[in-house]
């Protein structure tokens, strides 16, 4: 495709190899490019078992872990945000409860 081997370390396979490959392929068929970059992950279904480097799985697992950790941090952040938003109402409620308790205690004492 004019950019060297798709396995060369300086080649970005999606831009330098797959984009031109599919553009040429579909062009020869007289069709628009039906394989957009966002769908390249579908190609993995056609790779024989054992042919995908284990590093790919390890990297995907690492990405999944980061996403899981980010979701947990987001949930913690949302809990803190909700508490901070509700704090004035909670403080008013607790103050009202304290006043009520004091009034009850004062009535019981008299």
Helices (DSSP H) in the chain: which residue ranges?
19-28, 54-109
Mean pLDDT on 15-29? 92
Name the pTM for this structure: 0.49
| pLDDT score at 28 | 96
User: Which percentage of the chain shows pLDDT scores above 70?
Assistant: 96
For the chain, domain boundaries: 1-51, 53-110
* Confidence category of residue 29, pLDDT binned at 50, 70, 90: very high
Q: How many CB atoms lie within 10 A of CB 40?
A: 14
- Report pLDDT for 1: 55
Q: Distance between CA 19 and CA 13 in Å, rounded?
A: 8
Angstrom distance (rounded) from CA 77 to CA 27: 50
The arithmetic mean of pLDDT across residues 10-30, rounded, is 90
Measured distance CA(2)–CA(20) in Å, rounded: 9
At residue 3, the pLDDT reads 67
């Amino acid at each position: 495709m004019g950019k060297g081997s798709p396995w060369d370390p300086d080649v970005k396979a999606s831009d330098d190899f797959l984009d031109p490959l599919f553009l040429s392929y579909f062009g020869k068929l007289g069709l628009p490019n039906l394989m957009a970059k966002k769908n390249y992950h579908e190609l993995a279904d056609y790779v024989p078992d054992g042919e995908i480097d284990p590093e790919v799985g390890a990297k995907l697992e690492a990405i999944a872990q980061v996403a899981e950790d980010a979701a947990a941090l987001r949930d913690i952040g949302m809990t803190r945000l909700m508490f901070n938003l509700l704090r004035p109402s909670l403080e008013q409620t607790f103050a009202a409860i304290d006043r009520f308790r004091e009034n009850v205690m004062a009535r019981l004492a008299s």
